[in-house]
Structure 1
Amino acid sequence: MTPFIVGLRSSVRDMAFLGTKTLYNRVGHNTGNLAFHAAIDAHLGGNLPSVGWDAPAELINSMGAIGVVPAANQVGAHADYGGLARTFEELKCRLVMIGLGAQTGVDGSIPQVPEGTQAWVRQVASRGIPGTPNISVRGPLTKKVLDHYGLGEQALVIGCPSLFINPDPHLGESIEKNRRLVKRIAVAGGHPQWKHLGKIEASLAAVVTATGGSYVGQSPESAIALTRGEAKVMSEEDVKSCRDYICPSMSIEEFIQWSERHCDVFFDIPGWMEHYRRFDLVIGTRIHGVMLALQAGIPGVCIAHDSRTLELCQTMMVPYVLARDVSGGISREHLSDIFQFNGKAFDENRRVLAKRYFSFLTSNDLKPVNWLGVIARI
């Protein structure tokens, strides 16, 4: 049964010819989305045909027998997918959703999920093989939320498929061997509207300055424009918003020069991972930005600032520090001790999740690549 992706393409090949707004839309408003889309595509053999979420049901139905839906933190009070639920009502193909996450409060409480989003998840769940979970979720908190709404029966905890981009079954041990004195860092840049994380972001940007490091943008559109080298043509309001969050002590002119020297952005995963190989540590509030460092064999630390990032870090044993514990900022000296990691434990946890993921795929009539089975030791 031929699968196809209901979601994004795994990379933007013609990025150099496109405007930033077009690129922003192509990546689903966050370049980090490419990480799990590329992972799923690779796990199912690569170069799968794809169709966007905004496509009409008739087009989706014409794509093939099994639609694979890469998902993110769509379950929460923040989003209503009622329109998508109505489209999915008309689908005739089977569906398998991978990587669904819940967005909850900092205390992990059950969010008020809109009826439209519940209906959307229910439509996906109803299009699986009876008695077989066809929705993989990021962690036990997401499973708890789905259970609360009567949607958990078709769900299985696997983490994020981006954990399995690198085919090396001993990845954790390789990462541990690459631990060294932190002389140069890359930062997985946050969102300018995350004001409560401003001191942390500014402290990391200061280390980037001191070490000749890299500040990698993911979202929103203004951050992508900035890290794409467009500071001189951005609106004054957007430049100031980014400056106030990243380098608040600089003048606008100084910040523009800083962005031209230190900022980067990526629209394909191999290039992003290769870039990280130049650094001793990658750190930031973006879980997928940090995950790509780990997949490249480079030490990475996520600053967990909400239930979404914390759930992923704990499920997949991604090194993390709680934002509340470093709220005053992170110094260059602190970085040498902040990466706490056990390579063997990481590899064993990764093996367990890979085995569960491999079984999930095969039980849904999907054929995973052989090297995923090698990670799972099947």
Structure 2
Amino acid sequence: MTRILIRAAQDPTVALKAMASAERMGANAGNLLYANAVARTLAARSNRVETGAFDAHLVDRAAWVRKINKRYDHYVVPLANAFRYKNGASLEAMTELVRALDVPVTVVGVGAQATITAASDDARAIRMGKTGGRKLPSAADSAFHDDRVRAFVEAVLEKSTSFGVRGPVTKAYLVGLGLPDERIDVIGCPSVFTWGPEFRVHKGNGPVTEASALSMNIDYRVRGIGAVIERNVALYPRLTSVSQDLKSARMIITGEEQFDMTRRDPRTPVHTAHPLFRGGRLLFFASPWGWIAEMGRMQFVFGNRLHGNIAAILGGTPAHLLAHDSRTLELARYHAIPYSTLDEEATPPTAAELWDRTDYTAFNEAYPGRFGTYIDFLHRNELVTAYDGRNRLPRFDRSIRRGQATPAVVSGHK
């Protein structure tokens, strides 16, 4: 029996109350999707899988090191955009944690975050930016951050066979830092592989009309998104939006303002006077399984939140990503998720226009090979998966039924 600890903000089998969930999701509900996916993938009978240690590198690191070394045989770390510039101190602390461990450490699916042009330019020259921002760190600050990234990857490679990244841009960045090409594996985002090798997305019937059940996921920090929101809210009376960030979740749950609106576009739904909030069309899901289930009832989903679209895909609903940085673009390209970029749009696109551009043929054709690459990566790092023989998938799937049935908290309904 291999005892595995997955770094995760929540236990995938436990349905928390709304505020407790909001405060334990790492500030973004998308974090829960990929950690939950890894837990399901590792639900083999030869594994005993537990989740936790999300803040182990920040709170009593020495105690966590002792606990992990004593209780577990493998530490699995799903990560998102952990290489972003603002995450440097946390990355440094995580490096120290990894160095002190005696067990294998496998990082699953980390990505770089830079401007959208980095996905096509020389990725070795990336300077990490931030979502919604154009200001880049200085060359000296970038070099200091690069040293932190390199140290983290080197620490992990001392405890593993290879290092899993989300896409080729991130791999090129790491190789450009002098890290070994043959030990950096491009595996995509584990969340996409939640349901296993047979999963496919089918578009269904159109067209999109004003009567369609639609959902738009929104990162309010991204330039240009306000106009897209305004146009689509006016056109589609059944359009809803699932909020993923902590402040928006608090606003929905409490009905109280959370944002300084002198610094935010009022067309974004981050205030209680917004039409989506007032119309009860702004939602927060305490359970990511409930989020996926609700997206499965939509005809079409679109927006600039990567995992907002992946939640729809996992529900079997076609989604269209409005890519806005290197991490969203490299994953859309790797998984063949239909996408557009806002800077290509002459006018704010409507749901109907994005629907007409959305085709999942390439996604479905690529999926088996991408899934196989992901499983091969886990095998390379000596992890047995639920798809290798005897598994606990029926048991796991029964354990998440309560989460799947957990409804959204609806704005304006305390």
Q: Unaligned 5+ residue runs, structure 2?
A: 119-124, 128-141, 391-414
Q: Which has the higher mean CA deviation after the structures are superposed, 356-365 or 43-52?
A: 43-52
The partner residue of 1:85 within 95, 101, 105 is 95
Answer yes or no: is 1:149 the counterpart of 2:165: no
2:116 partner SS: coil
SS of 2:322's equivalent in the other structure is strand
Determine whether 1:110 maps to 2:111: no
Query: Does residue 124 of the first structure (1) align with residue 156 of the second (2)?
Result: yes
Alpha-carbon distance in 2 for matches of 1:181, 1:149: 47
- How has the CA–CA distance of structure 1 residues 170 and 91 changed in structure 2, closer, same or farther, with 3 Å as cutoff? closer
After TM superposition, list the pairs within 5 Å mapping 1:52-71 onto structure 2: 52-55=53-56, 56=61, 57-71=65-79
SS at match of 2:244: coil
**1:223 is the counterpart of 2:223:** no
Partner residue in 1 for 2:406: none
Give the CA deviation at 1:323: 1.4
Q: Give the match for residue 376 of structure 1.
A: none
Q: Percent identity?
A: 24
| Native 8 Å contact 2:302 2:319 kept in 1 | yes
Where 1:79 maps in the other structure, the secondary structure is helix
Q: Flag as ranges the 4+ runs of structure 1 deviating above 4 A.
A: 237-243
Q: Secondary structure at the match of 1:292?
A: helix
C-alpha contact 1:229 1:263 (8 A) present in aligned 2: no
After superposition, the C-alpha distances for 1:342-364 in whole angstroms (9 at most, x for unaligned) are 42x32231111111111111222
CA distance 1:364–1:272, change in 2 (3 Å): same
C-alpha deviation, 1:202, in angstroms: 2.8
Shift, 1:270, TM fit: 2.0
Describe the superposition over 1:180-213 as per-residue Cα deviations: whole angstroms up to 9, x where unpaired. 222221011213x334432223333334xx3322
Provide the residue aligned with 1:50 in structure 2: 51
* C-alpha deviation, 1:320, in angstroms: 0.6
- How far the C-alpha of 1:314 sits from its partner, in A, is 0.1
Give the 5 Å matches for 1:203-282. 203-207=231-235, 210-219=236-245, 221-226=246-251, 228-231=252-255, 233-235=256-258, 237-238=259-260, 244-246=266-268, 254-255=273-274, 258-259=277-278, 261-282=280-301
Alpha carbons 2:188, 2:331 under 8 Å: kept? yes
* Counterpart in the other structure of 2:230: 202
Cα 1:259/1:365, change in 2 over 3 Å: farther
Contact 1:102 1:142 in 2 (8 A): yes
Q: For each residue in 1:149-201, what CA deviation from the matched residue of structure 2 results, as whole angstroms up to 9, or x when unmatched?
A: 122442101111111122362513xx23x24222221011213x334432223
The answer to which of 78-87 and 198-207 deviates more is: 198-207
Whether 1:354 aligns to 2:354 is: no
Amino acid at match of 1:234: E
1:91 and 1:170, CA in 2 relative to 1: closer, same or farther beyond 3 A? closer
Q: Let me know the Cα RMSD of the aligned residues.
A: 2.7
Q: Gapped runs of 5+ residues in structure 1?
A: 374-378
SS at match of 1:297: coil
Instruction: Name the TM-score, length of structure 2 as normaliser.
Output: 0.77
Which deviates the most, 95-104 or 80-89?
Answer: 80-89
Matches of 2:377 and 2:115, distance apart in 1:
29
Alignment check: 8 A CA contact 2:338 2:360 kept: no
| 143-152 vs 193-202, which moves further | 193-202
